[in-house]
């Protein structure tokens, strides 16, 4: 045998062997289709529990378009790699999960594989859902299988090569998916453990609040150090928190179930949906989340505590309005904002003193630009905070001057860079959202659509 033939033979063997290994690592068997079970076969208590769990997991926010039927999918979820459309998770036998067994559903939640064996994109946050218990998956399954079936075919993702190759997801999983049940920490209280189970699992708080690496996975060394979602900044929730007044357990509890706290203001954008979901689950679970998250923030250093107290004291005694408005930004603030933010009025119309607002102390002005452009929308049927949007009445230059003024007069942080570009980008995304048929992800779902079990 010649040398080149031996090498050729080896190469072929390696190729076949390699392909075999890749096949073994990536192939998942399809699971048998079942006859859609009748809704009556599910226990009513289990379904009720499933509804609460679905709220914790924000399932409806990603699986429902603005005016579309609940859980019918089709919402475009933007990622740095392209747009992925959520699936129809109603029990429709053809286009939804009507033919999925509980086992197939659990496999999707744990390992991101659909019934047919296809790998699912981790935009579906199964890197968190993998920690959900069998019992909770059973309740979620019961809840989804008792919803109204809706015929709505999948929409094609808008991903370019190579990201449109689902086989790559198998490699991603090898690198980043840690499949294990939540292990309680015996040194901590039952409430803390409950909170950890919810936050790290179903509630997937880190999916937005933890920065991601170049491959779109959460950075394990920077948990809760602040992330991005739909042109909003999901602030750091650890010792790096930019909040002027340090968060504590009680403030977290009030904010997470009521959406507002006098020293921190209101939840907006994607966080408004999270809070609206948490307001429908048992108070004990929200308390547990607050307990665990207070530990993630950690006790403030004495320095930080003093700064927070100084902000609170100063806000009570001083006005942010310059006595003689000297800049364009100062004049706009005095004319358009101070009436509500320094009136001492309570919500719905009075806003917090802006010295408390994380938006103004944050590393960049994205959220502030979003708020000034679109305001704070009232929640239908509730006495919730209302602020008008200024997209129509102010141009980008005026908003940029206002943002720079607020940063320099209200926060103790160094000036932002690139303010004008960020304002332009915020206006562009806002306009784009309003133009897509699907509508913005942060639009409150029509409350009349919130279904009952």
* Residue whose Cβ sits closest to ligand HEC: 265
User: For residues 13 and 335, which CB has a smaller minimum distance to ligand HEC in the complex?
Assistant: 335
Residue ranges in 33-62 that form contacts with ligand HEC under rule CB under 6 A:
54, 57-59, 62
Q: State in angstroms the smallest separation of the CB of 428 from ligand HEC.
A: 18
Which x/- pattern, by CB under 6 A, does the window 177-206 give for ligand HEC? ----------------------x--xxxx-
120 belongs to the binding site for ligand HEC (CB under 6 A):
yes
Give the C-alpha separation, 123 to 150, whole Å: 22
For ligand HEC, the binding residue among 31, 47, 72, 84 (CB under 6 A) is 84
Most distant CA atoms of the chain, gap in Å? 94
**φ, ψ dihedrals at 402, nearest 5°:** -65, -45
Q: State in angstroms the smallest separation of the CB of 329 from ligand HEC.
A: 10
Residue ranges in 331-360 that form contacts with ligand HEC under rule CB under 6 A:
336-337, 339-341, 347-349, 351-352, 354, 357-359
Give the C-alpha separation, 126 to 129, whole Å: 4
| Listed ranges 38-46, 179-187, 228-236, 424-432: which one lies at the site for ligand HEC (CB under 6 A) | 228-236
CB atoms closer than 10 angstroms to residue 428: 11
373 belongs to the binding site for ligand HEC (CB under 6 A):
no
Which x/- pattern, by CB under 6 A, does the window 385-424 give for ligand HEC? xxxx-x-----------x----------------------
Q: Which residues of 310-347 are buried (b: 16+ CB within 10 A; e: fewer)?
A: ebbeebeeeebbeeeeeeebbbbbbebbeebbbeeeeb
User: For residues 40 and 362, which CB has a smaller minimum distance to ligand HEC in the complex?
Assistant: 362
Does residue 182 contact residue 197 with C-beta atoms inside 8 Å? yes
| Listed ranges 171-179, 310-318, 380-388, 415-423: which one lies at the site for ligand HEC (CB under 6 A) | 380-388
Q: State in angstroms the smallest separation of the CB of 196 from ligand HEC.
A: 11
Q: State in angstroms the smallest separation of the CB of 2 from ligand HEC.
A: 48
Does residue 218 contact residue 205 with C-beta atoms inside 8 Å? no
Rounded to a whole number, what is the distance in angstroms from the first to the last CA of the chain?
A: 73
Which x/- pattern, by CB under 6 A, does the window 137-166 give for ligand HEC? ---x--------------------------
89 belongs to the binding site for ligand HEC (CB under 6 A):
yes
For ligand HEC, the binding residue among 77, 254, 312, 321 (CB under 6 A) is 77
| Listed ranges 210-218, 232-240, 313-321, 431-439: which one lies at the site for ligand HEC (CB under 6 A) | 232-240
Counting residues that bind ligand HEC (by CB under 6 A) gives: 75
Question: Hey, CA dihedral for 403, 406, 411, 417, is it positive or negative?
Answer: positive
**φ, ψ dihedrals at 412, nearest 5°:** -95, 10
91 belongs to the binding site for ligand HEC (CB under 6 A):
no
Give the C-alpha separation, 277 to 62, whole Å: 13
For ligand HEC, the binding residue among 47, 257, 371, 422 (CB under 6 A) is 371
Residue ranges of alpha helices (H) inside 279-327 are: 283-297, 302-317
SS3 category, 134: helix
Give the C-alpha separation, 415 to 307, whole Å: 19
Does residue 431 contact residue 377 with C-beta atoms inside 8 Å? no
Give the C-alpha separation, 413 to 407, whole Å: 7
Give the C-alpha separation, 386 to 414, whole Å: 30
Quickly tell me which residue has 């784009």 as its tokens: 432
User: For residues 16 and 345, which CB has a smaller minimum distance to ligand HEC in the complex?
Assistant: 345
User: For residues 19 and 295, which CB has a smaller minimum distance to ligand HEC in the complex?
Assistant: 295
Give the C-alpha separation, 370 to 433, whole Å: 12
Give the C-alpha separation, 229 to 207, whole Å: 9
Q: State in angstroms the smallest separation of the CB of 258 from ligand HEC.
A: 12
User: For residues 352 and 445, which CB has a smaller minimum distance to ligand HEC in the complex?
Assistant: 352
Q: State in angstroms the smallest separation of the CB of 118 from ligand HEC.
A: 7
Q: Which two tokens stand for residue 69?
A: 């039927």
Q: State in angstroms the smallest separation of the CB of 10 from ligand HEC.
A: 37
For ligand HEC, the binding residue among 376, 400, 410, 445 (CB under 6 A) is 376
Residue ranges in 254-293 that form contacts with ligand HEC under rule CB under 6 A:
255-256, 264-271, 274, 289, 293
CB atoms closer than 10 angstroms to residue 17: 10
70 belongs to the binding site for ligand HEC (CB under 6 A):
no
167 belongs to the binding site for ligand HEC (CB under 6 A):
no
Q: Which two tokens stand for residue 252?
A: 């977290």
Q: Which two tokens stand for residue 39?
A: 């809704």
Q: State in angstroms the smallest separation of the CB of 418 from ligand HEC.
A: 19
């Amino acid at each position: 045998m010649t040398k080149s033939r031996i090498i050729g033979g080896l190469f072929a063997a390696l190729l076949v062997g390699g392909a075999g290994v890749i096949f073994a690592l990536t192939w998942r068997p399809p699971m048998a289709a079942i006859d859609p079970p009748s809704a009556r076969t599910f226990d009513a208590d289990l379904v009720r529990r499933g509804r609460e769990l679905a709220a914790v997991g924000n399932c409806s926010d990603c699986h429902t378009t603005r005016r579309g039927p609940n859980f019918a999918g089709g919402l475009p979820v933007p990622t740095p790699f392209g747009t992925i459309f959520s699936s129809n998770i109603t029990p429709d036998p053809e286009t939804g999960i009507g033919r999925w067994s509980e086992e197939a559903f659990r496999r999707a939640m744990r390992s991101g594989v659909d019934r047919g064996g296809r790998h699912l994109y981790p935009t579906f946050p199964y890197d968190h859902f993998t920690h959900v218990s069998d019992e909770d998956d059973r309740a979620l399954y019961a809840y989804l299988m008792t919803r109204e079936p809706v015929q709505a075919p999948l929409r094609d993702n808008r991903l370019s090569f190579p990201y449109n190759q689902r086989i790559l997801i198998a490699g991603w999983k090898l690198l980043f998916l840690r499949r294990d049940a939540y292990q309680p920490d015996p040194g901590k209280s039952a409430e803390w453990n409950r909170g950890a189970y919810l936050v790290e699992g179903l509630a997937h708080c880190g999916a937005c609040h933890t920065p991601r690496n170049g491959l779109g996975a959460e950075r394990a060394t920077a948990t809760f150090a602040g992330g991005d979602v739909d042109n909003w900044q999901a602030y750091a929730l650890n010792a790096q928190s930019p909040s002027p007044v340090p968060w504590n357990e009680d403030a977290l509890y009030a904010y997470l179930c009521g959406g507002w706290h006098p020293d921190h203001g209101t939840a907006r954008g994607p966080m408004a949906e999270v809070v609206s979901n948490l307001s429908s689950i048992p108070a004990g679970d929200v308390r547990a989340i607050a307990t665990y998250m207070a530990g993630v923030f950690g006790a403030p250093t004495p320095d930080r505590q003093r700064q927070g107290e100084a902000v609170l004291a100063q806000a009570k005694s001083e006005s942010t309005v310059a006595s003689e408005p000297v800049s364009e930004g100062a004049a706009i603030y005095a004319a358009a904002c101070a009436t509500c933010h320094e009136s001492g009025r309570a919500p719905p119309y009075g806003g917090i003193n802006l010295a408390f607002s994380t938006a103004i102390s944050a590393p960049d002005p994205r959220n502030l630009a979003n708020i000034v452009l679109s305001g704070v929308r009232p929640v239908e049927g509730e006495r919730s905070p209302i602020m008008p949007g200024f997209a129509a009445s102010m141009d980008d230059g005026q908003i940029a001057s206002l943002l720079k003024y607020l940063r320099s007069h209200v926060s103790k942080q160094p000036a932002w860079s690139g303010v004008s570009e960020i304002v332009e980008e915020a206006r562009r995304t806002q306009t784009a959202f309003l133009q897509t048929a699907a509508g913005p992800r942060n639009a409150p779902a029509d409350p009349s659509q919130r279904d009952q079990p």
